[in-house]
Amino acid sequence: MKIEIAKNNKEFKILDNDKIILKGRKPKWYSPEIQFFYNSKTYELKKKGFWATSFTILESGQPIGDINWSFKTGSKIILKDKQYWLKTEKEGKWYASDRQYILRENGKTPVLTIHYALKKWKESLEAEFNDKDHTNYVLLVCAMFLMRRQQSAQNSAAAGGFG
């Protein structure tokens, strides 16, 4: 599966064999919230409150899960009574920006792998489910959301916080 990101990270598409499966976007440039459309339904990742670090996953306006963050456990996705954690692994040489983001159910069983690479200043994203018969695109978008949050946190830490 290929993931295309356009318009300064504001819009994205998930393609499988060059067929568009899902389209999504950030409604406001300054907001971390995401809206996407899949199977004639609208999904949203909405922040629980202004100062909150947690997000609610909505399907046609109804909550179906959460994305939580804490110092103890890190980031996790709770979707339909299942919990998922995202783990980052470097690929290639020490100076390469290539990474694998592995989503694990209950912290153990790998469910999804997102391959991230930066080639000629352009991002390349591909995803693959471990069980090809049970693809969950809502889970994929939530994992991409967590991946972006982790990248942002790492970039902030690398910059030294305040300038």
Look at residue 91 in the predicted model and tell me its pLDDT. Answer: 79
pTM: 0.84
Q: What is the pLDDT of residue 67?
A: 92
Closest CA to 139 of 72, 86, 61: 86
pLDDT of residue 68: 87
Buried b (16+ CB within 10 A) or exposed e, 134-144: eebbbbbbbbb
Per-domain boundaries in the chain: 2-158
Site of tokens 């709770």? 78
Mean pLDDT taken over the chain? 85
Taking only the tens place, the pLDDT of each residue in 58-96 is 999 999 999 987 777 778 899 988 999 988 888 777 767
For 31, 47, 69, 74, the CA distances from 56, given in Å and listed in that order, are 14, 6, 12, 16
Among residues 60, 35, 30, the alpha carbon closest in space to that of 45 is found at 35
The pLDDT, as a whole number, for residue 163 is: 46
Q: What is the percentage of the chain residues whose pLDDT exceeds 70?
A: 93
Q: Are 25 and 44 in contact (CB under 8 A)?
A: no
pLDDT digits (tens, 9 = 90+) for 111-142: 999 999 887 778 888 999 998 888 889 999 99
What CA–CA distances, in Å, run from 38 to 22, 73, 76, 82, 87? 5, 30, 22, 21, 26
